Amino acid sequence: MSTPPTGPAAGPQRRGRGRRPAHEVRADVLRAAGALLLGGGLTALTFDRVARESGVSRTTLHKWWPSVGSLALDGYFHTVEDTLAFPDTDDLRADITTQLRHFVELMTTTPAGRLLTELIGRSQTDPDLAAEYRRLYSSARRQLATDRFRRAQEAGQIRPGIDVRVLVDQLWGAVYHRLLIPDEPVDEAFADALVDNLFDGVVQTP
Amino acid sequence: MSTPPTGPAAGPQRRGRGRRPAHEVRADVLRAAGALLLGGGLTALTFDRVARESGVSRTTLHKWWPSVGSLALDGYFHTVEDTLAFPDTDDLRADITTQLRHFVELMTTTPAGRLLTELIGRSQTDPDLAAEYRRLYSSARRQLATDRFRRAQEAGQIRPGIDVRVLVDQLWGAVYHRLLIPDEPVDEAFADALVDNLFDGVVQTP
């Protein structure tokens, strides 16, 4: 089977998938992969099933995604992009709280939590997967969060000296910590406490 | 081979290890396991090597520690207990900073970081190891940290409404997040920023 051309889309009379632009084919694949992952977790995702669901050949899939892990990460990132989008109102605290609650809900009420902890787990002894995890998922998610905080910092809402990259570890990283080592619950109260501690500070002021 | 008695220690003329009290034998084993781990990481630890180094029989080791993972966790906990002890002066911020810097140093300059991330990684798909990890390591470490913060809260240094368990995830959990997903460095500046953000709060006050 030939690879999808990158030129303009064929007219409506062309129904063959091979003629559609690459970005549309890619979107179909990522959607199919994401749906399988959120339906059944990592074990539900195989090249065969994605090929069947998306109508894209295995050859094409293997060419664009070297491993099932890379397909999972890419599909997952695009599938949760809207759910995890940062609101951008004037109320930074409300925006972060809203996003963090969505993140906690996604991690605890869908197979997403299990999927990510399993990929993070495997990546501890699989350097290729670790590199793919950072390239296709974590570094882009970090960037979206730091972008939101940098805008807040430029607007004078976050103190100038704060390294906003550290906030990512103290909010979403703290959630991952409880997901990976489940000594304590991951719930909305936890999400709210994470935000409160950083926004209000924890020390008693005289 | 008989198991070590739990009665009083035999006199100095008794050199046979089988006659020593169980707690001494146990301490020898944990010391040997910890030294192997901090020397060469998880791959350096086998029942055979611990038996050889500690002079305790494999039969006894297997009876007390059902898996090499449980022996690793128990040995590691006891080996780093002093290094990770919490200072308890009147200056809470200095105490936490000191401890957190020690933790970062241990994680980044010894095989401890690799050991723990590998055990956390494996525990994502090994429920027995996950349970052992919490029983023999993480829950006890969490307890030591929350004890220190509760004393500070009782002394009026931490605001009354703060759930101090959340601070564990925003300090040590944030470090684990960077160790497990190494998008950003783990260093002293990071440790200090973690403390500063929580103690001072991050928002600009008018």
| Mean pLDDT computed over A41-63 | 95
Note whether B204 and A153 are within 8 A (CB).
no
| Residue B202: pLDDT over 90 | yes
Q: Each residue of B136-171: pLDDT tens digit?
A: 999 999 999 999 999 999 999 999 999 999 999 999
Mean pLDDT across the stretch A47-73?
Answer: 95
DSSP for B115-184 reads HHHHHHHHHTS-HHHHHHHIIIIIHHHHHHHHHHHHHHHHTTSB-TT--HHHHHHHHHHHHHHHHHS-SS
Q: What is the mean pLDDT of chain A?
A: 91
Helix (H), strand (E) at residue A148: helix A139-154
Structure confidence at residue A16 (pLDDT): 54
Q: Are the beta carbons of A182 and B142 separated by less than 8 Å?
A: no
CB within 8 Å: A176 and B174: no
In tens, the pLDDT along B13-60 reads: 344 555 789 999 999 999 999 999 999 989 999 999 999 999 999 999
C-alpha distance from residue B183 to each of A39, B38, B89 (Å): 28, 25, 35
Percent over 70 (pLDDT), chain A? 91
Q: Do B121 and A117 touch (CB under 8 A)?
A: no
CA distance B178 to chain A (A): 7
Which residues touch A204 (CB under 8 Å, ≥6 apart)?
Answer: B156, B157, B158, B159, B160
Mean pLDDT of B103-113: 96
- Residue B2 CB neighbours (<10 A): 9
Residues of B in contact with A148 (CB under 8 A): none
Residue A114 pLDDT > 70, yes or no? yes
Q: Among B148, B149, B171, B168, which residue's Cα sits nearest to residue B159?
A: B149
Q: What was the ipTM of the complex prediction?
A: 0.90
Region of poorest pLDDT, from A3-7, A92-96, B118-122: A3-7
* Chain B residues near residue A173 by CB distance under 8 angstroms: 173-174, 176-178
Q: In this structure, what DSSP letter does residue A42 have? A: G
Give the span between the Cα atoms of A162 and A202, in whole angstroms.
16
Residue-range domains of chain B with CATH: 17-75 (1.10.10.60), 81-200 (1.10.357.10)
Q: What is the pLDDT of residue B115?
A: 94
As a whole number, mean pLDDT of residues B94-111 equals 97
The average pLDDT across A165-192 equals 98
- The percentage of residues in chain B with a pLDDT greater than 70, rounded to a whole number, is 91
Q: pLDDT of B65-99, one tens digit each?
A: 999 999 999 999 999 999 999 999 999 999 999 99
Whole-number Å distance between alpha carbons of A102 and A80: 10
- The tally of CA atoms less than 13 A away on the side-chain side of residue B9 is 8
Q: What is the pLDDT of residue B23?
A: 94
Tokens of A175: 């959630």
Closest by Cα among B26, B25, B71 to B44: B71
Q: How far is A53 from chain B (nearest CA, A)?
A: 28
- Asked whether the predicted pLDDT for residue A4 surpasses 90, the reply is no
